Amino acid sequence: MMTTTTDRTAREQRADEYAGPLLEVDNLSVEFRLRDRTVNAVNGISYTLAARETLAILGESGSGKSVSAQAIMGILDSPPGFITQGEVRFRGEDLLAMPEDQRRRIRGRRIAMVFQDALSALNPVFTVGDQIGEMFQVHLGMSKKDSRLRAVELMDKVRIPSAKDRVKDYPHQFSGGMRQRVMIAMGISLEPDILIADEPTTALDVTVQAQIMRLLKELQQDMSMGLILITHDLGVVADVADKIKVMYAGRIVEEADVHEIYARPAHPYTEGLLASIPRVDQKGTALATIPGQPPILSQIPAGCTFHPRCSWAQSICTTEEPELLTVAMGRHSRCHFWQDVLDAHQ
Amino acid sequence: MGRYVIRRLLQVIPVFFGTTFIIFAGVFMLPGDPIRALFGDKSPGAAVINTIREKYHLNDPLLIQYYEYMKGVVVGDLGVNFRDRPVLDIILQAAPVSIKLGLTAFAFEIIVGILAGILAGLRRGGYFDNLVLIVTTLIISIPSFVLGFVSQLTLGLELGIFPVSSIREGWPYAYILPAMILAALGLASLTRLTRTSLVENLRADYVRTAIAKGLPRKRVIGRHAFRNSLIPVVTLLGIDIGSLISGAIITEGIFNLPGVGQALFRAIGAQENTVVVGISVALVLIFILANLIVDVLYGVLDPRIRYD
Amino acid sequence: MTEGRDRDRDRAPNFESAPDGGSPVVAAADAADTTAKGEPDEKQATLTSDAWRELRHNPLFIVAGLVVALMLVIAAFPQLFAGQQPIMGQCSLSRSLLPPQQGAIFGTDVLGCDVYGAVIWGARPSIIIGLTVTAGVGIIATLVGSLAGFFGGGIDAILSRFTDVMLGFPFLVGAIVILSAFPDRTPLIVAGVLIVFGWAGLTRIMRSSVISAKDMDYVQAARALGATNGRILFRHILPNAITPLLVLVTIGVGGIIGAEAALTFLGVGLQAPTNSWGLSISQSQERFYQHPHILLFPSLFLSMTVLAFIVLGDAVRDAFDPKLR
């Protein structure tokens, strides 16, 4: 336990030393070069994350939310993916400009990632204890025995019952929720500064979802981490996030504090997302949907990317792509008519 | 794990009896009278023939004959050939040659096959990968006896690198060429399977997780992907041992190696049914045991199997 | 887009990846593309139609397919290619072992028979056995495998025991022993024995296919809708489970032709007067050092045929298995 305290103090020291934000993504673009076409997966997104802050990135499949996270972690499949512009600054240092071996040392240790579907994300032939303990063995040079002990501690921390016995079990012997806790244990094992959770609850039951989200929040507060939550599920985000960035077709279309977005959306897409959440008091009425399909990323429409599906669209939307316009302090929307959207939800 | 092994062991018993019965029934139910064949042109009296038939239980129903035979097998008595030489003896004398051939081929196959498969898989789509695909396809298509003859002709006679026949030169020289030919088919399949398995596993989700954990590349491939890739390969090895056994029959024939395969061949030609059955039973037993070992190995590698 | 800073490529921690990316982005892009561009008649993109579309453009598939087609024609109508069947024992010994020349483009063999004729007429038994055994093994494997996999329990136990027993024979050993007992080995007998010793392997695969299909949600759904066992088996499970079988079977034809040649070579397969590639090769054993043509031509035809079937099967398998691309 001595190591943990010293680590944390050292880290907190470092955190206080560097004045800027923990993570700064600056105008990041990623494209996929395929055989016959190029897909613009991420198109000039920027955001920052402060220590102890929870940022939720919300979007459908194909919005580019996972790809941007992969770019930050440096685990992008390349080829065919290529980062074409931008910087990702961790404590002021651009990760994209770092040599690979330096970057690898940060990966898992300072910035960690948790994936969805723990059954395929965990290696089926090694015990859970081995896989968690591996972090200590590889990054900290610990012995197998010691790392096994730490693994048990971590499994306790993520509240897996009978951790001491279960540490020798294999992933397929756990239930879905327990497996996800194993993934989280692996993620927080070295007390990273940032934890990125990519759809951590998507493969789980609703009740288990709530448990996992609560666990993540507690761990974050306990360990003073920055948390980036990637999801498509608005319901999951409300209790946990501080800020939300809504992504659509590779761009950020709205960013705001969590309460503001739920109360008064300022972008038609966000508005549509909120409206399509089924609510108990709407029983008996038709489910609201956003008409149309997400765009083909190799053929993004001119003007505003959302205009083909937008009920607020007018002729300017087909020709001029809106910038991220300021709605209020710290709040932006990529819509020509954000004011109208906002006013509609007084 | 223990339960898994025991279950597999129990499975061996009915399989062993089933296969040996089929061999026994197949051979002894056949047209032709082995006793008359014993005497060649001479025609002994009916009484003589009958005595011999009694001695060998040939007048009893098939199942009794089988039972008597198996009683012998269990203690290692596989009967005698026409010259009263114990079949077990014949097998034991021929065995060392076949074992040397088989093990050499097996080792060659595993080492070259897995290495080539890994290299091809790591540089998928590259020059080596395509070369491997073409060569393995060719090897699989050209029958082993053709490969055997051609190699005898080129490497053996024309270039004089390897001996073409008999074991006079001893191990390893006399065995290298036959072992390579014997290994050829298995090698081709092994290489392809290793490659495919590795490629699939390199794209698996758990590999992405391992990379995200900041593990060095060597560890991700060498430890995580490799273990998983080996699983189907081990299964293939089990099937492969079967082809090695039957392939040896052909290879020993072509290269004139006095092994068990050749002995089987001679016995078939001479209609020595006891020898035929004896050798076949031995081969089947070896095959069944080899498969048992492979299955256990599979259980060691893949924990998901153990808890079924 | 403007200046490509391909930094990630220099230190790509991700080794090789599929040309079409495992990224959900790309998958979504692909899906969106297909639905947007749309097949002209809005047909559902089934695996079969996708596979067929890919195969049509695969040069290997086309070439291999043509070779197979040619062999099938030769097997069906040897007279068109070589006239009279060269019957062993009826060729003129005075013309023995002639090199390729006018009148005998592949030369003559030990018995004076025309090698070209022997090779052409040899196609039929080999290919017939190849196809018959494949069909036989396929049918048995489908039947036994589905019954065992679908019904489970006692039926599965019995059928699996049978399968295990047959799998206890190393590849050709059983066939060699049984065939050696028949004094008169017609192609039918050889095919029969090969089927007897060949059905078990494929059956096991079919059985596990059916078992995994049985657990799928669409089967539960069908049951909930009141479908009978028979209907579920035929309409839902079989079409899905049979794909790996079909793929293996196409590759398997090549293997069976090779196996028959091996058996004949060992002397326990087809016999004279049936021409067969294995027989021609076997007869060339003693003399081919001085007269390579008697080994060369039958070997070439045999290898080419097996190769064509295998390449065909490979192409089909790759087309049906998207993960491998």
Per residue, the 3-state secondary structure of B224-250, as one string, reads HHHHHHHHHHHHHHHHHHHHHHHHHHH
Please give the Cα distance from A271 to A336 (Å, whole number).
15
Residue C37 pLDDT more than 60? Answer: no
Query: What digits encode the pLDDT tens for the residues C214-253?
Result: 777 788 888 888 878 777 777 777 777 777 777 777 778 8
| A183 phi-psi bin (left φ>0, alpha ψ -120 to 50, beta other) | alpha
pLDDT above 70 as % of chain A: 95
- Mean pLDDT calculated for residue range B146-162: 77
Please give the Cα distance from C146 to A34 (Å, whole number).
41
Residue of B nearest to A114 (CA): B209
pLDDT-derived band at C90, boundaries 50, 70, 90: low
* CA–CA distances in Å: residue A149 to residues A130, A174, B84, B166, C133: 11, 20, 68, 61, 59
Task: Out of C4, C11, C26, name the one closest to residue A32 (CB).
Answer: C26
Q: Pick the residue of A70, A78, A85 with the most C CBs within 10 A to test the interface with C by mutation.
A: A78
Please give the Cα distance from A61 to A294 (Å, whole number).
9
List the one residue out of B220, B248, B299, B284 whose CA is nearest residue B4. B299
pLDDT-derived band at A341, boundaries 50, 70, 90: confident
Which pLDDT belongs to residue A128? 94
A144-157 helix and A176-188 helix, angle to the nearest 10 degrees: 120
pLDDT above 70 as % of chain C: 82
Q: C15: which chain A residues are within 8 Å (Cβ-Cβ)? A: none
Torsion of CA A161, B213, A16, A141, to 10 degrees: 90
Question: Looking at chain B, which subunits does it touch, using at least 3 CB pairs closer than 8 Å as the criterion?
Answer: A, C
Apex C169 CA angle, C166 and C175, nearest 5: 95
pLDDT above 90 as % of chain A: 38
Residue C10 pLDDT more than 50? Answer: no
pLDDT-derived band at B38, boundaries 50, 70, 90: low
Q: Is the pTM above the cut of 0.80? A: no
Q: A99: which chain B residues are within 8 Å (Cβ-Cβ)? A: none
C82: exposed, middle or buried (Cβ count in 10 Å: 0-12, 13-18, 19+): middle
pLDDT-derived band at C41, boundaries 50, 70, 90: very low
Q: Note whether A195 and A188 are within 8 A (CB).
A: yes
Which pLDDT belongs to residue B167? 65
Partners of A93 in the β-ladder: A90
- Residue with the two structure tokens 């699996």: C160
Residue A337 pLDDT more than 50? Answer: yes
Question: Looking at chain A, which subunits does it touch, using at least 3 CB pairs closer than 8 Å as the criterion?
Answer: B, C
Q: B301: which chain A residues are within 8 Å (Cβ-Cβ)? A: 125
Which pLDDT belongs to residue A119? 87
Q: Note whether B284 and B20 are within 8 A (CB).
A: yes
Partners of B86 in the β-ladder: B80
Task: Look at A103 and C13; give whichever has higher pLDDT.
Answer: A103
Q: Pick the residue of C2, C3, C20, C26 with the most A CBs within 10 A to test the interface with A by mutation.
A: C26
Residue B268 pLDDT more than 60? Answer: yes
List the one residue out of C122, C117, C124 whose CA is nearest residue C76. C124
- Mean pLDDT calculated for residue range B86-110: 88
Task: Out of C3, C9, C25, name the one closest to residue A62 (CB).
Answer: C25
Torsion of CA C1, C7, C12, C13, to 10 degrees: -120
Residue of A nearest to B304 (CA): A172
Contact state of A81 with C4 under an 8 Å Cβ cutoff: no
Q: Does residue A113 sit in helix, strand or coil?
A: strand
C151 to chain B, any CB pair closer than 8 A? The answer is no
Residue C16 pLDDT more than 50? Answer: no
> Which residues have C-beta within 8 Å of that of residue C11, sequence separation ≥ 6?
A99, A100, A103
Q: Which two tokens stand for residue C164?
A: 């295990």
Across the beta sheet with A325-328, the strand order is A111-114, A194-198, A226-231, A54-58, A243-248, A251-257, A331-333, A325-328
Residue B293 pLDDT more than 50? Answer: yes
ipTM given for this complex: 0.85
Query: What digits encode the pLDDT tens for the residues C110-161?
Result: 777 888 888 888 888 888 898 999 999 989 988 898 888 888 888 888 888 8
Query: What digits encode the pLDDT tens for the residues A169-188?
Result: 999 899 989 999 999 999 99
Chains B, C: CB pairs < 8 Å: 155
Residue of C nearest to B28 (CA): C181
Please give the Cα distance from A139 to A110 (Å, whole number).
11
Which pLDDT belongs to residue C32? 38
Task: Out of B209, B212, B228, name the one closest to residue A125 (CB).
Answer: B228
Question: Where is average pLDDT lowest: A284-293, A332-341, C194-203?
Answer: A284-293
Contact state of A123 with B216 under an 8 Å Cβ cutoff: no
Rounded to a whole number of angstroms, the CA Rg of chain B reads: 24
Task: Out of A34, A40, A82, name the one closest to residue C4 (CB).
Answer: A82
The alpha carbon of residue C289 is apart from the nearest alpha carbon of chain B, in Å, by 7
Listed by number, the residues of chain C in 253-292 with a beta carbon closer than 8 Å to a beta carbon of chain B are 254, 258, 261-262, 265-268, 281, 284-285, 288-289, 292
Q: Which two tokens stand for residue A310?
A: 């937008």
> Which residues have C-beta within 8 Å of that of residue B294, sequence separation ≥ 6?
B234, B235, B237, B238, B241
Whole-number average pLDDT of chain A: 86
Q: Pick the residue of B206, B246, B280 with the most C CBs within 10 A to test the interface with C by mutation.
A: B246
Q: Which two tokens stand for residue B40?
A: 């060649």
List the one residue out of B73, B96, B106, B16 whose CA is nearest residue B286. B16
Which pLDDT belongs to residue A185? 94
Which pLDDT belongs to residue B199? 84
Q: Note whether A156 and A178 are within 8 A (CB).
A: no
CA C241 to chain CA mean position, Å: 18
Question: Where is average pLDDT lowest: A280-289, B85-94, B218-227?
Answer: A280-289
Please give the Cα distance from C264 to C280 (Å, whole number).
9
The alpha carbon of residue C42 is apart from the nearest alpha carbon of chain A, in Å, by 17
pLDDT-derived band at A11, boundaries 50, 70, 90: low
Q: Note whether A228 and A65 are within 8 A (CB).
A: no
Query: What digits encode the pLDDT tens for the residues B139-148?
Result: 888 888 888 8
The alpha carbon of residue C41 is apart from the nearest alpha carbon of chain A, in Å, by 20
